[in-house]
Structures are given as structure tokens and as C-alpha cells.
Structure 1
Amino acid sequence: MKTLSFINLKGGVGKTTIATNLSYLVAESWGLRVLFIDNDKQGNASRWFGADEEKGTLTNILMDGAKAGEVIQHSRYEGIDFIAADMGLIEANYAVIADQETRQDVILKNALTEVAGNYDLCIIDNPPDVNMSVFNVLTVTDDVVVVTLLETDSVEGIYKMAQQVEDVRQFNPRLAIRGVLVNQYIAFPDVSVIYRGVQEAGFPIFRTRISYATRLAKYHLMTASQGQKSIFEVCPSCRIARDLMEFAEELLDGGAA
């Protein structure tokens, strides 16, 4: 099972939208078996997948020692299962730190062992934070995709994330930044300057850029989110859907890095 984490230490860059829609796309169009893990206490992706919190969440893995198979839920899509998140992750992060008798970095890794062979790809949506749940995620991650807007605060998150990846590599030598994915791109001169700065810093950047949403595209995204559907089910021909398709093709073809 290949594990892919979407992350940036700056919030509001569109990680959840990209991660959930990518999950749908690779399951539907490529026939991949996907395990989606929601590692954001807000649980937006979990609600998108129609989570039932009574069936358990990532909190139960981190706090109670639950195995992945005990909390995995089936989504409405045949090829996608998921592990939900809830606000209990706040307490779970403190509990993991306080537990000195348990090796803190491999809780999630151990929990996933029994199910890894059931899936082709694990996609993880992460919060704009550095905590024990993120640490556990990076320990099982193969490739990191840093989603960013071309604005100063978001780009600063790339540098901070690169340092976190370097720090965690002592626990997970496989871990690497697969690439920077630019979201909400628009070709303004000042945006181009920031883009060149990211290039000159040496970060791998995906060729595909997710275009800035037009008013109509934003409406389609809102409609999809409210209906717990993917953008491909609502408007497969819109620019955002086409960009996401191009990104999936590039990602699966070994792009960036």
C-alpha cells in the first residue's frame, strides 16, 4: 500500500478538497483500492464520506490501541474505505505525549499493518499543525504532497514542512516530499514571482496547477460539498475537474520529485 499525505502548515489552502476528490478519481477512473485517513480534527473529509462516529475514529487508534480494521468504514463509493476524524484528536495528541510506556511514533503504523494488503493507495488529509497524530502519519507516509497557494504565508508553510519531513526521516527513511501542488492558480505578475521563488528554492513542483475557481466553478464545488459528492459527479467538464484529472495522471505517472 502506497501512502500519500496532503499537508501544509498553513490552513485554508484546499488540502481536503483535493485529497477527497483525488480519492474518488483514482478509485473510479483507475480502479485503485483506496484507504482514506482523515487526520484533521475538524472532520470535514469524514463528513464528506458520510462518517458514523459511533463506529470509531482515528482517536480510538491513538488513544485506545484500536486496530485499523476496527474503525475503518465503507464509503458510498465501492473502491474507497476511510478512517474518520473527530475533535477527540485534540485529547488524543496530549494522551500520546503523556504515555511514556508506548512507543509514540509507530501507533498508527502498527494499527495499519493488518489492512495494508487490502489497498493500493492510502491518502491522508492532514491538519495545518505539527502534533503527535501528524508525526504518526509521517512515520507511515511514503510521499508528501504540499498543497499551497502562491501567497507568502502558504509558501512559508512549504519551508516549514520541508524541515518537518527532514526531522521525521530518522524514523521513516522512505519519507520524501513528492512535490508542491499549486492550488487556486492565477497568472498575475506577483504570483509568477512567488512561483519562481519556489522553483529557485529547489522544491519539486508538479507541472499541473489547479486553476483559480471562477464564480461558476466555486458554485459547483459548493454544490458538490453540500451534496457530499465529488466535483466529477457535479461538473466533470469544469476547469477544476480537468486540472484534478491532469494532476492525477501526473501523480500516478511519477511526476514531480
Structure 2
Amino acid sequence: MRTISIVNLKGGVGKTVTAVNLAAILATEYAQRVLLIDADHQGNTSKFYRIPAEPGSLADLFEGTVMCYTDIVQPTIYRGLDVIPADMSLAALELDGQLPEDVHGGLPRDRALRALTDLRDAVIEDDAYDFIVIDCPPAFSIASISAIAASTDIVIPLMPGQFEIDGMAELIQQIDGVRRTNPAVRIAGILCTMTYRDEMVDEVIRWLRKHSPVPVFDTQIRWSKPMGRAVMAHEPVCEWSPTSGAARDYRAWVREYLGGVLDGEKA
């Protein structure tokens, strides 16, 4: 089973759009069983799939008020795709002293940091899903650290621009720090998003391919009007506009990612 965290410290780079479309493509076009976890307190992934944070959310798992991940899993309208939702209650985890005492033993912060690793192990034991996809918040938070520590793969969506590149080095350094607890986690690659025909954009991508310390996917996700309309309609772009540039790009990227996973497993 693969656990994929979609991570970037900056917002507005296509992180949530990448997570919801990756999960949908794996479920609808590859017949995979996918658990999509919303680890961002803004809850955009939950809202996208119209999943309320009731009767429980990811914060409940972190706080130890639910002991089984199945208690907070909710189905979507897409066969094989389930969601664990999030809402603003997750933000309280980032404030020192806000985690309640752990009645089950162990320090509350330590429990929260290992929560997604424990969830992943339970999913593997149950043989419940083929993929876990985690939409991380745009900050190096307890939720992000817990997600990275549980992951096999990290995908970094990156909108080509100087500020985004400047933040990439810090992000990679912080991911490397989490690797001490999970040496198996790998950065699968940087995914260039919201690209368009422009010499500056091409130059940034060329620079990334030459200088990035981690892989850069060959596939780029083009900006297109259907993408925004799909988000407004609460539908994956491959369902809303199957022939649009963004839909074709996301399909191509998933093929590229899966090829890399298979090559790695063969090696």
C-alpha cells in the first residue's frame, strides 16, 4: 500500500486540487481503493467532496477521542473513494497545551505525531485500501509532520515562480528532518502546476530540472478555465471536463507516478 502526502509550505499552488484529482483518478480509472485524508484545518478537501466534519474528523483521531479510523471515514459518490474530513478544530492542535490529556497513555503531542502512522498500519492490517492520499496544510505543523512520517511518497506541487522556489529548499530540509523517524519516505517528485506558455515559466522549469535536489516530474499541469469551474462544481476535473488540458495532464501525471512506483518496487 502507498501513502502519498501532498505537501507545500505555500498556499495557492494547487495542492488540494492535486490531492482530490489524484484520489479520484486512482479510484475511478484504476479501480483502486483510496482513502483521502484532509489534514488541512481549512477543510477544502472535505468541502470539495461535500463531506461534513460530523460525526467525527481528523482532529478527533489526533486528540484520541476516537480509537478507530473507521469511525471517521465517510464515503464519496465515487466508488472506492472515501474521505476523512477536517475542519477548524484541527487548528487547535498547533497551539501548545491545547491537546487534552491522553487517557490511553503517552504524551498527547507524541500521540498526535504518530496518529497517521498508526492509522496507516491499521489500514494495512485490515487490507482496507490500496492508497492513502493526504492533503497537508500549507505549514509545517503537527498534521504535516504526522502525515510525512506515515508516508511512502511525498509529492510537492509547485507553481513556477521565485517565491515558490525559495521556499522549496526549506521544505525539503524539513522533510529530511522527518525522515529520521521514517527513512523509507521518499520525495517522489516536484509537480509543476498552473503552467502556461511563457518564456519565464519555461526558464523556471528548466532551472528546476537542472538544479533541484529532488526529482521533477516530466508532466506539467497546465492552468485552464475548466479547472476553476470543476472546483466550483465540486467535481474532479477529469469528471467535469474529461478532454480539457488539465484533465489530460493529471491523467498523464498519475501514469507517470504509477510507473515510478512500479519501477521502484521491481528494483
Is 1:210 the counterpart of 2:221? The answer is yes
Q: CA 1:156/1:97 → structure 2, altered by over 3 Å: closer, same or farther? A: farther
Q: TM-score, normalised by structure 1?
A: 0.91
Is 1:141 the counterpart of 2:151? The answer is yes
Tell me the secondary structure at the aligned position of residue 130 of structure 1: coil
- The equivalent of 1:7 in structure 2 is 7
Q: CA 1:163/1:98 → structure 2, altered by over 3 Å: closer, same or farther? A: farther
Q: What's the % identity of the aligned pairs?
A: 30
The answer as to whether partners of 2:63 and 2:100 remain within 8 angstroms in 1 is no
One-letter amino acid of the counterpart of residue 10, structure 2: K
Once residues 163 and 136 of structure 2 are traced to their aligned partners in structure 1, the CA distance between those partners, rounded to angstroms, is 18
Q: Alignment partner for residue 110 of structure 1, among 118, 123, 140?
A: 118
- The equivalent of 2:164 in structure 1 is 154
What is the Cα deviation at residue 192 of structure 1? 2.5
What is the Cα deviation at residue 11 of structure 1? 0.8
What is the Cα deviation at residue 106 of structure 1? 1.0
Superposition pairs of residues 10-25 of structure 1, within 5 angstroms: 10-25=10-25
Q: TM-score, normalised by structure 2?
A: 0.88
- The equivalent of 1:79 in structure 2 is 80
- The equivalent of 2:207 in structure 1 is 197
What is the Cα deviation at residue 97 of structure 1? 10
The answer as to whether partners of 2:39 and 2:144 remain within 8 angstroms in 1 is yes
Structure 2 residues not aligned, in runs of 5+:
none
The answer as to whether partners of 1:6 and 1:147 remain within 8 angstroms in 2 is yes
Q: Comparing 56-65 with 240-249, which one deviates more in the overlay?
A: 56-65
Once residues 75 and 44 of structure 2 are traced to their aligned partners in structure 1, the CA distance between those partners, rounded to angstroms, is 16
What is the Cα deviation at residue 225 of structure 1? 2.0
Once residues 183 and 93 of structure 1 are traced to their aligned partners in structure 2, the CA distance between those partners, rounded to angstroms, is 28
The answer as to whether partners of 1:57 and 1:71 remain within 8 angstroms in 2 is yes
Q: Comparing 189-198 with 118-127, which one deviates more in the overlay?
A: 189-198
What is the Cα deviation at residue 65 of structure 1? 4.3
What is the Cα deviation at residue 222 of structure 1? 3.2
Deviations 1:135-172 (A, max 9, x none): 11111011101000110111223212110111001111
What is the Cα deviation at residue 127 of structure 1? 1.2
Once residues 23 and 89 of structure 1 are traced to their aligned partners in structure 2, the CA distance between those partners, rounded to angstroms, is 22
Tell me the secondary structure at the aligned position of residue 236 of structure 1: coil
Is 1:58 the counterpart of 2:40? The answer is no
The answer as to whether partners of 2:23 and 2:81 remain within 8 angstroms in 1 is yes
- The equivalent of 1:222 in structure 2 is 228
What is the Cα deviation at residue 89 of structure 1? 0.8
Once residues 165 and 175 of structure 1 are traced to their aligned partners in structure 2, the CA distance between those partners, rounded to angstroms, is 9
The answer as to whether partners of 1:97 and 1:132 remain within 8 angstroms in 2 is no
Tell me the secondary structure at the aligned position of residue 114 of structure 1: helix
Q: CA 1:97/1:133 → structure 2, altered by over 3 Å: closer, same or farther? A: farther
Once residues 13 and 55 of structure 2 are traced to their aligned partners in structure 1, the CA distance between those partners, rounded to angstroms, is 29
Q: Comparing 122-131 with 47-56, which one deviates more in the overlay?
A: 47-56
The answer as to whether partners of 2:137 and 2:143 remain within 8 angstroms in 1 is no
Q: Aligned pairs, how many?
A: 252
Once residues 190 and 120 of structure 2 are traced to their aligned partners in structure 1, the CA distance between those partners, rounded to angstroms, is 27
Structure 1 residues not aligned, in runs of 5+:
none
Once residues 99 and 32 of structure 2 are traced to their aligned partners in structure 1, the CA distance between those partners, rounded to angstroms, is 33
Cα RMSD, aligned residues only: 2.0
What is the Cα deviation at residue 96 of structure 1? 4.6
Is 1:243 the counterpart of 2:254? The answer is no
